[in-house]
Structure 1
Amino acid sequence: MNKYYVIGLLTILLFSCASPEKIIYFQEVEGVQVQDSLLNFEPKIQVGDILGINVSAVDGVAALPFNLYETPVLGNSISNSKPLTYLVDSDGQIQFPILGDLKVEGYTTKELKTVLTTRIGEYIKQPTINIRLTNFKVGVTGEVQKPGAYTIANGRISILDAIILAGDLTIYGNRKNVLLIREQKGKRTFINIDLTNKELFNSPYFYLAQNDVLYVEPNKTRVNNSAVGANTGVILSSVSILISLVAILLN
């Protein structure tokens, strides 16, 4: 057996390239039809959410009692008053001016807007309701370029958007096993996501809920490198000696 063949074989075994199937996202996406339910996705309001709700109307004075302010409104002026937000309590309710306790858990902001428009419409004409989730955030950690918690202004973010915010996966990220951690109604669930599978586009987890966390686990290369640690130099020296010995024996 030629010594150069043996040396080459050892080198290939030590430094073999990763398979494209382990690196490329969303393989063979042709023909994927995204479901309407995902195209129109909106997150549901949960316990602990903070809602910003503003009520206005043609008659601005009539709408004032349906808004919360940090300081009392003097006369018809609210220029020096800071609007307050609503915390969804453990019963899934907020305490709304005039209307009292109001169940909001499980609604989307669009659905809650419809409810409030109907209820407030009993008191004032043509109310306009604006609602937003002020504390909508997701976390991305593990093998990404910029791990951290990200606040989402519009209350809608997909797994892809979250990964982009985090600067994409590192070369050591396991694209076939990204862990989604979700907590709802006091129950924590763990979902494994395969970023190489085109079916992700129709997954009920494609869009993230508030406070979701994505954990990108390290691939085998990273794990092996970590196991080697400070012994890297020793191992490389040993491999070099082994190759030299094989060359001598085959000479």
Structure 2
Amino acid sequence: MNIKSIYPCCILALLIVSSCAPKRDLVYFSNMASSVTENNTQAQETRIHKNDVVNITMTSSNPESNLLFISNKNAASGTSLYKDGYRVNKSGYVNLPLIGDFKIEGLGVDEAQTKIAAELDKYVKNPVVDIQIVNFKITVIGEVNKPSTFIITDEKVNLLEALGMAGDMTVYGRRENVLVIRNEGNHKTMKRLNLNKQEAMNSPYFYLTQNDIVYVEPDRSKAVEYSQNTRLMPLVIASISAVAVLAAVLLKR
């Protein structure tokens, strides 16, 4: 090969290598129309599972009964009371003041509140029950800036909010292939969502439930970038370019 042609060939090689990276859509819901789009998907009702820790507050219109709730709750600290709430045992029960063992596993939070209040109505007037799941959590891992497990206080979070808590995806995160892993009864289900498409908001997996795991898969370009051969490629190309420049200078003399 003519020495004069080495330098242009190196430039061409650099352009080819730089153009090999696949084009990727980094915009969420990029197919969404400019007009306002309605999303009718609702968050699924939060249900209570075994080993959940629930904070159950019971009150009534009678101050004496309220004191009884407090004293009985303190007395239950040696049984099912756990930190800031009651841990649902392996049979799905919690031990409540006045009522005793009461099964709440599988019930929605609102449904559990209604049933406990109906049972309390046998003992006090106008009972009011409030339940919060203390250990409602989700986990976001993979190609995000701050992978972690997050405690959700209001028991309602969607996929975008979860990614926001994790510092959003890195540039390597595959927005078109986000995996949600969910516990449903005694088995796990998995669903992949394409966050480049607005249709993802209609999926029942867009709103997360307790203990969901969100995995953001890395793009193949990251694997290429971090492979041993690819890390050596810039050094090889730089060396060839240096030789080509030196040859060009020598030819001008």
Q: Are residue 52 (structure 1) and residue 55 (structure 2) matched?
A: yes
Q: Which moved more, 1:110-119 or 1:11-20?
A: 11-20
Report the counterpart of residue 111 of structure 1 in structure 2. Answer: 111
Kindly indicate whether the alpha-carbon contact (under 8 Å) linking 1:63 and 1:124 is maintained by their aligned counterparts in 2. Answer: no
Return the alpha-carbon distance in structure 2 between the equivalents of residues 119 and 5 of structure 1. 85
Q: Are residue 207 (structure 1) and residue 207 (structure 2) matched?
A: yes
Return the alpha-carbon distance in structure 2 between the equivalents of residues 167 and 125 of structure 1. 48
Q: What is the CA distance between 1:20 and its match in structure 2?
A: 4.7
- Corresponding residue SS for 2:157: coil
Q: Are residue 19 (structure 1) and residue 23 (structure 2) matched?
A: yes
Report the counterpart of residue 79 of structure 2 in structure 1. Answer: none
Report the counterpart of residue 175 of structure 2 in structure 1. Answer: 175
Report the counterpart of residue 237 of structure 2 in structure 1. Answer: 239
Return the alpha-carbon distance in structure 1 between the equivalents of residues 7 and 48 of structure 2. 66
- Corresponding residue SS for 2:208: coil
Q: What is the CA distance between 1:89 and its match in structure 2?
A: 2.0
Q: For residues 34-92 of structure 1, what are the alpha-carbon distances to aligned partners after superposition, in whole Å with 9 as ceiling and x for unaligned? A: 22xx33533211121111001011212224444553358xxxxxxxxx98622122222
Distance 1:106 1:130, change over 3 A: same
Kindly indicate whether the alpha-carbon contact (under 8 Å) linking 1:70 and 1:84 is maintained by their aligned counterparts in 2. Answer: no
Distance 1:124 1:106, change over 3 A: same
Unaligned runs of 5+ in 1: 73-81
Q: Are residue 33 (structure 1) and residue 33 (structure 2) matched?
A: no
Report the counterpart of residue 187 of structure 2 in structure 1. Answer: 187
Higher CA-based Rg: 2
Q: What is the CA distance between 1:245 and its match in structure 2?
A: 8.4
Q: Are residue 157 (structure 1) and residue 161 (structure 2) matched?
A: no
Report the counterpart of residue 224 of structure 1 in structure 2. Answer: 224
Return the alpha-carbon distance in structure 2 between the equivalents of residues 226 and 137 of structure 1. 32
Return the alpha-carbon distance in structure 1 between the equivalents of residues 46 and 244 of structure 2. 63
Return the alpha-carbon distance in structure 2 between the equivalents of residues 94 and 13 of structure 1. 66
Return the alpha-carbon distance in structure 1 between the equivalents of residues 68 and 16 of structure 2. 74
Distance 1:13 1:44, change over 3 A: farther
Identity of aligned residues (%): 29
Report the counterpart of residue 79 of structure 1 in structure 2. Answer: none
The aligned amino acid for 1:19 is K
Q: For residues 98-144 of structure 1, what are the alpha-carbon distances to aligned partners after superposition, in whole Å with 9 as ceiling and x for unaligned? A: 32332212222112112222221232111121110000111111111
The aligned amino acid for 2:123 is Y
Unaligned runs of 5+ in 2: 77-81
Q: Which moved more, 1:172-181 or 1:62-71?
A: 62-71
- Corresponding residue SS for 2:209: coil
Return the alpha-carbon distance in structure 2 between the equivalents of residues 169 and 13 of structure 1. 28
The aligned amino acid for 2:23 is S
Report the counterpart of residue 133 of structure 1 in structure 2. Answer: 133
Q: Are residue 70 (structure 1) and residue 74 (structure 2) matched?
A: yes
Report the counterpart of residue 93 of structure 1 in structure 2. Answer: 93
Q: Are residue 10 (structure 1) and residue 13 (structure 2) matched?
A: yes
The aligned amino acid for 1:118 is A
Q: For residues 199-236 of structure 1, what are the alpha-carbon distances to aligned partners after superposition, in whole Å with 9 as ceiling and x for unaligned? A: 1111101111111111111111111112237x62x322
Return the alpha-carbon distance in structure 2 between the equivalents of residues 190 and 113 of structure 1. 30
The aligned amino acid for 1:120 is L
Distance 1:218 1:40, change over 3 A: closer
The normalised TM-score by structure 2 is: 0.79
Q: Are residue 61 (structure 1) and residue 64 (structure 2) matched?
A: yes
